[in-house]
Every structure is written in C-alpha cells, then in structure tokens.
C-alpha cells in the first residue's frame, strides 16, 4: 500500500465501517482528499481508481484489515491528520452509530499518537460539528 492509498484508506474506512456509505460522507471524503497532495494532481479517473481499489480491499477484508495495512505506511503526522478526517466524517451527519464509535476507538488505539491525543481530536471536531444556532432566525 502506498502512502496515498494508506492515507485515503483511513477516512474511507470511517465512512464504510457502518456499512452505509452515504452521499454526504462520500462528498466530504472526496472534498477533503482532492485538495491535498498527492490527490489534487490526480486525474478524476486516477482518483476514482484509487478509491475503487480501496473499496475492493474494504469489501474483501473489512475495515480492520484496511486500517491494519494502512497504519504502518503512514508517519505519525499523517496518522494524526487521517484520524482527524475519520472523526470528521463520522461526525458529519451528527449521529455516531455504535459501529462508528467502535471504529474510532479501535483506530485511536492502533495509531502512534501520544496518550490522550485521539480524545483531544475527537473533542475538537465534535465541538466544530455542533449545530448551535438551531431555532435562530435569519435576518
């Protein structure tokens, strides 16, 4: 697995771990990746093939094996950002299903992050996802 595949595998596994790859999650995944190196220099066809290949691995091996293969390929900084993307994708629909919570816990424990760092990342991204203006009128 290349670093580009490994980095994309983590957030992809996040959106697939509950067996529901929703439109909003797919859109956010694509938007988060295509603005980063090396994905921004890929043709749409090459990017699609990368994602299709990862989806094939996911279907064959499930998310646990996908992240098991991806983690050793990534530096600690890459792991941290990939984890942040995974958390963001899990939270994007403002509903964390039990399968998603299990995924994040397992992933956080497998990564080479300093103690407590995964919890910090989850806390910050949960804060940013809160919809605090519900009921407010638009002027």
Residue 58 resides in a domain: yes
Q: Which residues contact 26 (CB under 8 A, 6 or more apart)?
A: 15
Taking all residues of the chain, what is their mean pLDDT, rounded to a whole number?
91
Average pLDDT, stretch 41-52?
94
Would you state the pLDDT for residue 18?
A: 84
Residue 136 resides in a domain: no
Domain hosting residue 108, numbered range: 3-129
Confidence check: pLDDT of 55 > 70? yes
Buried b (16+ CB within 10 A) or exposed e, 39-56: beebeeeebeebbeebee
Residue 25 resides in a domain: yes
What CATH number corresponds to the domain at position 90? 1.10.3680
**For 58-111, how does the pLDDT look when each residue is reduced to its tens digit (9 = 90+)?**
999 899 999 999 999 999 999 999 999 999 989 887 788 899 999 999 999 999
What is the number of domains present in the chain? 1
What confidence category does residue 25 fall into, taking pLDDT thresholds of 50, 70 and 90? Answer: confident
Residue 33 resides in a domain: yes
Q: Give the Cβ contact number of residue 77 at 10 Å.
A: 8
Residue 46 resides in a domain: yes
Look-up: residue for tokens 């990564």? Answer: 111
Residue 114 resides in a domain: yes
Q: Do the beta carbons of residue 15 and residue 29 sit within 8 Å?
A: yes
Q: Give the Cβ contact number of residue 96 at 10 Å.
A: 17
Would you state the pLDDT for residue 93?
A: 76
């Amino acid at each position: 697995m290349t670093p580009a595949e490994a980095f994309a595998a983590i957030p992809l596994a996040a959106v697939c771990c509950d067996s529901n790859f929703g439109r909003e999650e797919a859109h956010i995944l694509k938007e988060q990746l295509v603005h980063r190196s090396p994905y921004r220099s890929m043709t749409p066809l090459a990017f699609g093939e990368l994602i299709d290949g990862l989806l094939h691995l996911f279907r064959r091996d499930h998310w646990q094996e996908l992240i098991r293969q991806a983690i050793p390929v990534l530096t600690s900084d890459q792991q941290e950002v990939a984890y942040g993307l995974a958390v963001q994708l899990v939270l994007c629909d403002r509903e964390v299903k039990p399968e998603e919570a299990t995924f994040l816990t397992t992933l956080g424990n497998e990564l080479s992050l300093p103690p407590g760092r995964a919890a910090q990342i989850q806390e910050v991204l949960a804060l940013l996802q809160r919809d605090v203006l519900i009921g407010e009128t638009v002027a």
